[in-house]
């Protein structure tokens, strides 16, 4: 999708799109566009009424400069959120595709509704992400996306804002595209090759540690989980070092189980196909690293992706096993389906030891318990650092990728103590499953500020997922916009 910013309306645009706010003098809003002279306009305005998400094509006078005008409702002024324009723009873009248009224009609403930069970002993200369709394996492909012109008083700052939003949206789409890949097409080796391509294109340092080296260097969690599959485990590392030479980096870690059967503790067959999405945390890190490089963010940022396939087999790890993790601590295995915390623990320890970072953020589709606790529209957050939590919450508010902090005190740490090892890989029964998983991860962190995002409920669209035009069915790319905002505001 080609997006440009212009300070005037193209007289030959195929569709001019105007946002309307409920309970305002809408005819006055339209008068300057010379589209209020047709008698049917009043009827169209009455039908739409500025109601949230309502669209209406209205006729234009024969001497009008536009082929058609689309009115789009934003809802009541005092109920407009940071997500409203993004959501409604998605509806507009999908309508443009339905009409098979080659291009369309959107007028940025008044600053009384939204700051111009924020509105432009929402328009760009809503348009690009809503037109995404995973059709890699379909014979019939989606029609080409129409071009978009954003009408706003032009400035270098606005142009930069639009381009930044475009890169961020492309990062989220990149994440969705990898996450949507089926398990027969996306193994740990596939992810390693994707990361290598990103690194080569964007001149980042790329490292991959494979099976024998993982075992030799003491990555006991990654080795154990990956040993049941013929598709060997990988630890993938990307380095974007564009900050001061001696500045400590931010480390991003993402769980990438390319398919999770549960291993010996086999999952039920129902919805097991959705376990292709168990790699979403790692895909999020890859999408962020791609965007970080393209945005040339002047920071040192490291992306680490532990990737495995969790399969039952003659060499699979078992309930009852005791394994030694990268940091030297031992873990008693009580359930092989609690595998994500094992590979993350290795990666977190490695990231802290290797890079002495100023902060670590991890992303993981870690627990079904998080869906029970928070549903499918809010991610769980567990952290050991108040300042890091506050910064992530601020970014959550700006991007509307919602997170909610859960506690982690000594009582939860005690719930994963083992009689025969330093810890066990599940807690006591079903109690506090999301937090006890995070407690396991906290054992991998010595002193670094750390935030864990459990994205099990939000990484792909599920039964109770709220409709968002910019999140078509499948992977959502959750976390990309959130963390890029956090990094840009450091």
Instruction: For residue 113, count CB atoms less than 10 angstroms from its CB and return exposed for 0-12, middle for 13-18, buried for 19 or more.
Output: middle
Instruction: For residue 272, count CB atoms less than 10 angstroms from its CB and return exposed for 0-12, middle for 13-18, buried for 19 or more.
Output: middle
Give the CATH number, domain containing residue 333: 3.40.630.10
Quick one: average pLDDT of 372-385?
98
Closest CA to 474 of 272, 180, 87, 258: 180
Q: Do 90 and 226 fall into the same domain? A: no
* Confidence tier at 465 by pLDDT (50, 70, 90): very high
pLDDT score for 63: 59
Instruction: Note whether residue 361 is domain-resident.
Output: yes
Q: Do 238 and 371 fall into the same domain? A: yes
- List, for residues 5-41, the tens digit of each pLDDT value: 998 887 788 999 989 888 765 555 566 555 655 555 5
How far is 455 from 434, CA to CA, in rounded Å?
Answer: 11
pLDDT score for 153: 85
Q: Do 210 and 245 fall into the same domain? A: yes
Instruction: Note whether residue 26 is domain-resident.
Output: yes
Closest CA to 437 of 261, 215, 281, 266: 281
- List, for residues 416-439, the tens digit of each pLDDT value: 999 999 999 999 998 999 999 999
* Confidence tier at 111 by pLDDT (50, 70, 90): low
* Ramachandran class of 414: left when φ > 0, alpha when ψ lies in -120 to 50, beta otherwise: alpha
Per residue, the 3-state secondary structure of the chain, as one string, reads CCEEEECCCCCCCCCEEEEEEECCCHHHHHHCCCCCCCCHHHHHHHHHCCCCCCEEEECCCCCCCCCCEEEEEEEEHHHCCCCHHHHHHHHHHHHHHHCCCCEEEEECCCCCCCCHHHHHHHHHHHHHHHCCCCCCCCCCCCCCCCEEEEECCCCHHHHHHHHHHHHHHHHHHHHHHHHCCCCCCCCHHHHHHHHHHHHHHHCCEEEEECHHHHHHCCCHHHHHHHCCCCCCCEEEEEEEECCCCCCCCEEEEECEEEEECCCCCCCCCCCHHHHHHHHHHHHHHHHHHHHHHHHCCCCEEEEEEEEEEECCCCCCCCCCCEEECCCCCEEECCCCCCCHHHHHHHHHHHHHHHHCCCEEEEEECCCHHHHHHHCCCCEEEEECCHHHHHHHHHHHHHHCCCEEECCCCHHHHHCCCCCCCCEECCCCCCCCHHHHHHHHHHCCCCCCCEEEEECCCCCECCCCCCCCCCCCCCECCCCHHHHHHHHHCC
* Domain enclosing residue 190, as ranges: 173-488
* Confidence tier at 113 by pLDDT (50, 70, 90): low
The residues facing 3 across adjacent strands are: 148
Q: Do 100 and 189 fall into the same domain? A: no
Last residue of a domain, one of 153, 184, 204: 153
pLDDT score for 61: 63
Q: Do 299 and 435 fall into the same domain? A: yes
pLDDT score for 64: 64
Query: Percent of the chain scored above 70 by pLDDT?
Result: 93
How far is 215 from 171, CA to CA, in rounded Å?
Answer: 33
Instruction: Note whether residue 483 is domain-resident.
Output: yes
Instruction: Note whether residue 147 is domain-resident.
Output: yes
When divided into structural domains, the chain yields a total of 2
Quick one: average pLDDT of 126-155?
92
pLDDT score for 8: 85
pLDDT score for 26: 55
pLDDT score for 117: 82
- List, for residues 316-369, the tens digit of each pLDDT value: 999 999 999 999 999 999 999 999 999 999 999 999 999 999 999 999 999 999
Under 8 Å between Cβ of 146 and 97: yes
Q: Do 62 and 205 fall into the same domain? A: no
Q: Do 417 and 365 fall into the same domain? A: yes
pLDDT score for 316: 98
pLDDT score for 66: 73
- pLDDT mean across residues, the chain: 93
pLDDT score for 25: 59
* Confidence tier at 154 by pLDDT (50, 70, 90): confident
Structure tokens at 88: 């409604």
pLDDT score for 42: 59
Instruction: Note whether residue 46 is domain-resident.
Output: yes
Q: Do 285 and 182 fall into the same domain? A: yes
Q: Is residue 214 scored above 60 in pLDDT? A: yes
Q: Do 91 and 181 fall into the same domain? A: no
Pick from 155-159, 253-257, 329-333, 421-425: least confident: 155-159
Q: Is residue 208 scored above 60 in pLDDT? A: yes
- pTM for the structure as a whole: 0.95
pLDDT score for 36: 53
pLDDT score for 39: 56
Q: Is residue 83 scored above 90 in pLDDT? A: yes
Closest CA to 235 of 219, 251, 250, 249: 219
Last residue of a domain, one of 101, 124, 153: 153
pLDDT score for 143: 82
Q: Is residue 257 scored above 70 in pLDDT? A: yes
Q: Is residue 224 scored above 90 in pLDDT? A: yes
Instruction: Note whether residue 158 is domain-resident.
Output: no
How far is 125 from 87, CA to CA, in rounded Å?
Answer: 9
Q: Do 274 and 368 fall into the same domain? A: yes
Q: Do 78 and 187 fall into the same domain? A: no
Q: Is residue 454 scored above 70 in pLDDT? A: yes
Instruction: Note whether residue 265 is domain-resident.
Output: yes
Q: Do 280 and 146 fall into the same domain? A: no
Q: Give catalytic residues, as residue numbers.
A: 267, 341
Instruction: Note whether residue 192 is domain-resident.
Output: yes
- List, for residues 49-65, the tens digit of each pLDDT value: 788 999 988 767 665 66
Query: Percent of the chain scored above 90 by pLDDT?
Result: 82
Give the CATH number, domain containing residue 19: 3.40.220.10
Give the strand pairing for 55-58 and 69-76.
antiparallel
Last residue of a domain, one of 153, 184, 205: 153
């Amino acid at each position: 999708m080609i997006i440009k910013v212009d300070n005037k309306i193209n007289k030959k645009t195929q569709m001019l799109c105007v946002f309307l706010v409920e309970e305002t003098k809408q005819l006055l809003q339209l008068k300057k566009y010379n589209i209020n002279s047709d008698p049917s306009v009043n009827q169209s305005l009455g039908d739409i009424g500025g109601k949230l998400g309502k669209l209406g094509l209205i006729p234009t006078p024969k001497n009008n400069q536009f082929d058609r005008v689309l009115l789009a409702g934003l809802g009541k002024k005092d109920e407009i959120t940071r997500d409203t324009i993004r959501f409604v723009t998605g509806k507009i873009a999908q309508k443009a595709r339905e009409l098979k248009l080659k291009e369309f224009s959107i007028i940025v609403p008044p600053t009384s509704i939204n700051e111009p930069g924020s509105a432009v970002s929402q328009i760009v993200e809503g348009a690009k992400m809503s037109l995404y369709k995973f059709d890699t394996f379909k014979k019939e492909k989606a029609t080409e996306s129409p071009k978009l012109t954003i009408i706003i008083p032009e400035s270098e700052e606005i142009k930069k804002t639009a381009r930044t939003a475009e890169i961020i949206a492309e990062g989220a789409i990149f994440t969705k595209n990898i996450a949507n890949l089926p398990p027969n097409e996306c193994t740990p080796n596939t992810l390693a090759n994707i990361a290598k391509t990103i690194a080569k294109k964007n001149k980042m340092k790329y490292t991959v540690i494979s099976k024998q080296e993982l075992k030799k260097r003491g990555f006991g969690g990654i080795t154990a989980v990956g040993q049941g599959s013929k598709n060997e485990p990988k630890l993938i590392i990307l380095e974007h070092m564009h900050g001061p030479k001696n500045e400590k980096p931010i480390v991003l870690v993402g769980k990438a189980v390319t398919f999770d059967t549960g291993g010996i503790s086999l999952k039920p067959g129902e919805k097991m196909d959705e376990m292709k999405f168990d790699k979403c945390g790692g895909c999020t890190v890859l999408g962020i690293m791609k965007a970080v490089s393209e945005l040339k963010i002047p920071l040192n940022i490291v992306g680490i992706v532990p990737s495995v396939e969790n399969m039952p087999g003659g060499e699979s790890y078992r309930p009852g096993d005791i394994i030694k993790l990268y940091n030297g601590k031992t873990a008693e295995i009580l359930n092989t389906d609690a595998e994500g915390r094992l590979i993350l623990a290795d990666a977190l320890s490695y990231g802290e030891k290797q890079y002495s970072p100023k902060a670590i953020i991890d992303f993981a589709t870690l627990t079904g318990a998080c869906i029970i606790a928070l549903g499918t529209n809010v991610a769980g957050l567990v952290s050991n650092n108040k300042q890091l939590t506050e910064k992530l919450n601020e970014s959550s508010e700006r991007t509307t990728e919602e997170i909610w902090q859960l506690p982690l005190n000594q009582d939860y740490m005690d719930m994963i103590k083992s009689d025969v090892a330093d810890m066990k890989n599940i807690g006591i029964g079903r109690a506090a499953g999301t937090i006890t998983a995070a407690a396991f991860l906290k054992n991998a962190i010595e002193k670094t500020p750390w935030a864990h995002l459990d994205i099990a409920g939000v990484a792909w669209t599920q039964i109770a997922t709220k409709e968002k035009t910019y999140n078509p069915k499948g992977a959502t790319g959750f976390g990309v916009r959130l963390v890029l905002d956090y990094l840009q505001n450091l």
